[in-house]
Amino acid sequence: MSDPHTARLLISCPDRPGIVAAVSQFLYSHGANILDAQQHSTDPSGGEFLMRMVFHLEDLDVTRAQFERAFAEVVARPFTMNWRVAYADRRKRMAILVSSTDHCLLELLWRVQSGEFEVEIPFVISNHDDLRGVTESFGLPFYHLPVSKENKAEQETQILGLLEGRVDFIVLARYMQILSPEFVAHYPAKVINIHHSFLPAFIGANPYKQAYRRGVKLIGATAHFVTDDLDEGPIIEQDVARVSHREGVGDLVQVGRGLERTVLARAVAAQLEDRVLLIGNKTVVF
């Protein structure tokens, strides 16, 4: 469980000397105690600098709003930083979109129910009605919004209406629909998808069948942010399992489902803990 008196500071900016010193000195000067600090430079001679700091804020000498305004003026502006602060006592809100397979949905709901994931789920949305009972057994609202080629734009508008102002990010827990660029534009780097292959291999539909036809010896799963390009968004988490010629397509699906559950859960955990930073179409996961 997170300490409610902590905050996480995430920073990306052009690399130059003095960044760590400036941030650390600012936190110290306002009574914040640094609990953890991680950093990464893509190229010390002129690349991008990324940092994640966790600090105790119970002894801050200013309000949170004053702290953020001062940081923006004193530290962020001189170093041209992109930055944000996340407070542990504010739970993130995560919407789940799903179709008709339940394994990824159940994995997320179990982890929330057990207290492993500190997150609010305002509702689950699906283009099928199959998982209503499962969802409602966890005490969550379920919205069935069928989709077809004819009503896709209208259905996405309905989803956006439900999401507006109620979520921080979205998880596609095997939601077998391609989101439109208009939808993605509303939530840039805030929609996490689980793809049932080790990307960039086997993009698109039926990856297990594609893998079987190629006689692969490893199958995998990939969690990534959704972009306009199908299955090509920044990768957050991946894993693989060894298989052989003995496994048919059905066997690959069974093995793959375990990977999908684990990989998606890891990606969601990283998002909840503010460990993911973007650099173009790549991620740094602290």
For strand 191-195 and strand 235-242, is the pairing parallel, antiparallel, or unpaired? Answer: unpaired
- Find the catalytic residue in 129, 168, 231, 239: 231
**What Cα–Cα distance (Å) separates residue 22 from each residue in 15, 193, 244, 277?**
13, 36, 54, 20
Name the DSSP class of 275.
-
| Helix-then-strand count for the chain, H and E | 8, 14
Beta pairing partners, 7: 55, 87
Torsions phi, psi of 224, nearest 5?
A: -150, 160
Nearest CA to 192 out of 116, 251, 257, 269 is that of 269
- Residue 228 designated active-site: no
- Residues 6+ away with beta carbon under 8 Å from 139: none
Which position has the token pair 């790549």? 282
Q: What is the DSSP letter of 148?
A: -
- Looking at this protein, which amino acid is placed at residue 82? N
- The residues annotated as belonging to the active site are 231
